[in-house]
Amino acid sequence: MVTLLEKIENLLNNNIGDISRLEHIKKSIAENKKIYNSDIQYVEELEIKRIESITKNPTEHHSDDVSILCWNCEKVLVQSSKFCSFCGVRQDHKESKFIQGLSRIRQENNPLKIVSNFHSYQILAIIGGFAGVLPILIAISNIGRILEIINFYTSKDLSGFVDWFIVFGVISTGLCFFAVIVSFAIKKSKRVGRILFFLSFTILVFSIMVGVAGFVFILFAAITALKKRRY
């Protein structure tokens, strides 16, 4: 019996269906994550269409009977395979094994590819976290001078609240770091969005508007996470 993963490999090798969605399902299987019924049904429908296409037009798929070896793991594949169903490496028969090896190493160590693995809301959360922490820490380290300036212009002595301002600053800093952690620790984007939305306003209140930059970025991160499409 053909497994779901093997069906996905067949579809990818034949460039059938939504490649990004199929790669997402394949990754979920590899990571032992829950596979939704809608995803299974999607793969099954595409596989049925693929088989029907081969049945109706056998001459167009005759070249699939020719076998080749994967240049990376040397397992047997059909000639039309674009990816190896065993090791996942892209097959390009026009390039030598040496050139493909160098290309693979370069791609794996490409910093842009590493960054692209992050979700947009995670990047926004990181920016928001640091954008909130830096001004808060600066305000805490200069709290005495800030209160003197406030006293000079408003004639209000707030020196008795120094401890409270420091406590609020520490809490705000912790919340900023927590927002970053949450964006990576929780896999469900909708749940992340709801938590970040609450955290953004909490940070704004506890930082007494000092962390407004962090509030803006984390709020955008929350909105992005809530709007993220899940396959």
CA distances 17 to 72, 127, 197, Å, are 26, 35, 35
Gap between the Cα atoms of 200 and 198, Å rounded: 6
CA distances 227 to 112, 124, 184, 230, Å, are 24, 14, 17, 9
pLDDT of residue 116: 46
For residues 175 and 202, the answer to whether their CB atoms sit within 8 Å is yes
> pLDDT 10s per residue in the chain (231 long)?
567 888 888 788 777 888 888 888 888 888 888 888 888 888 888 888 877 776 666 555 444 445 566 767 767 666 666 777 677 777 665 544 555 555 566 555 555 444 445 788 899 999 999 999 999 999 999 988 988 888 888 888 888 888 999 999 999 999 999 999 999 999 888 999 999 999 999 999 998 888 899 999 999 999 998 887 654
- State both tokens at 47: 């596989």
pLDDT of residue 200: 94
pLDDT of residue 130: 94
Gap between the Cα atoms of 120 and 184, Å rounded: 11
What is the reported pTM? Answer: 0.49
- State both tokens at 173: 């800093």
pLDDT of residue 79: 67
pLDDT of residue 216: 94
pLDDT of residue 231: 44
Q: Which residue reads 């397992």 in tokens?
A: 75
In the chain, which ranges are E strands?
Answer: 67-69, 76-78
CA distances 10 to 27, 72, 176, 189, Å, are 15, 19, 45, 30
For residues 44 and 25, the answer to whether their CB atoms sit within 8 Å is no
